[in-house]
Amino acid sequence: QVQLQESGPGLVKPSGTLSLTCAVSGGSISSSNWWSWVRQPPGKGLEWIGEIYHSGSTNYNPSLKSRVTISVDKSKNQFSLKLSSVTAADTAVYYCARRFWGIDIWGQGTMVTVSS
Amino acid sequence: AIQMTQSPSSLSASVGDRVTITCRASQGIRNDLGWYQQKPGKAPKLLIYAASSLQSGVPSRFSGSGSGTDFTLTISSLQPEDFATYYCLQDYNYPQTFGQGTKVEIK
């Protein structure tokens, strides 16, 4: 079955760019699903960041829209998140996920800390 | 953005209890709502989609109901493995928004 795995630096400096990749295995990123990013600050709730379709169509959370880019690489069967101008408020566990009927498949999550 | 208000924010219950969690949307969202369970250190898990459809592999003690603005997640007989935090998520429009969560604790 489809599995997702996040990867990327666990520490990012303030004002820098957070970059994460989500590898999709057991299925094709070109299937009829949206591929999503969700984050969770320590001890807090879940926040939807955005999503991408394999065609490249994207939807972003307006609260982050000016700083977020989600892209897809069909040749590598993966999708990516870039969040620019990060601050300590961006410290969180970042999850990649698949949305079909609901967000039905999640990666294990990766902790990203913003600190100098 | 649509606001999703969950209640209660936490509850204490015993094994075997019937538990009900509600989620209210700030505007109508048809039945475009899912319920998720999250245990500490783990990714959320989809329990219910489209307000009342049970995700494959999820025990039948979980059920969802509602449409429009008011939704309910019910656990008919709480089991030890059900102690967790539960979230609702609307995907009626963008941005998708989560409720603030309901922590179910052991009484």
Residue-wise pLDDT tens digits, A87-110: 999 999 999 999 999 999 999 999
Is B34 close to A102, i.e. CB distance below 8 A?
yes
Q: What is the pLDDT of residue B14?
A: 96
Choose the mutation target among A46, A58, A100 for the interface with B, i.e. most B CBs under 10 Å. A46
The low-confidence residues of chain B, meaning pLDDT below 50, are none
Is A106 close to B44, i.e. CB distance below 8 A?
yes
Q: Give the percent of chain A with pLDDT over 90.
A: 98
Q: What is the pLDDT of residue B80?
A: 95
Strands of B1-107 (E only): list them.
Answer: 4-7, 10-13, 19-25, 33-38, 45-49, 53-54, 62-67, 70-75, 85-90, 97-98, 102-106
Is A106 close to B50, i.e. CB distance below 8 A?
no
Q: What is the pLDDT of residue B72?
A: 98
Q: What is the pLDDT of residue A26?
A: 97
Give me chain A's average pLDDT, please: 97
Q: What is the pLDDT of residue B5?
A: 98
Signed CA dihedral, A82, A85, A91, A92: sign only: negative
Residues 6+ apart with CB under 8 A from A104: A98, B46, B49, B55
Whether A59 and chain B come into contact, CB under 8 Å, resolves to yes
Q: What is the pLDDT of residue B13?
A: 97
Q: What is the pLDDT of residue A30?
A: 93
Q: Choose among B43, B45, B97: nearest Cβ to A48.
A: B97
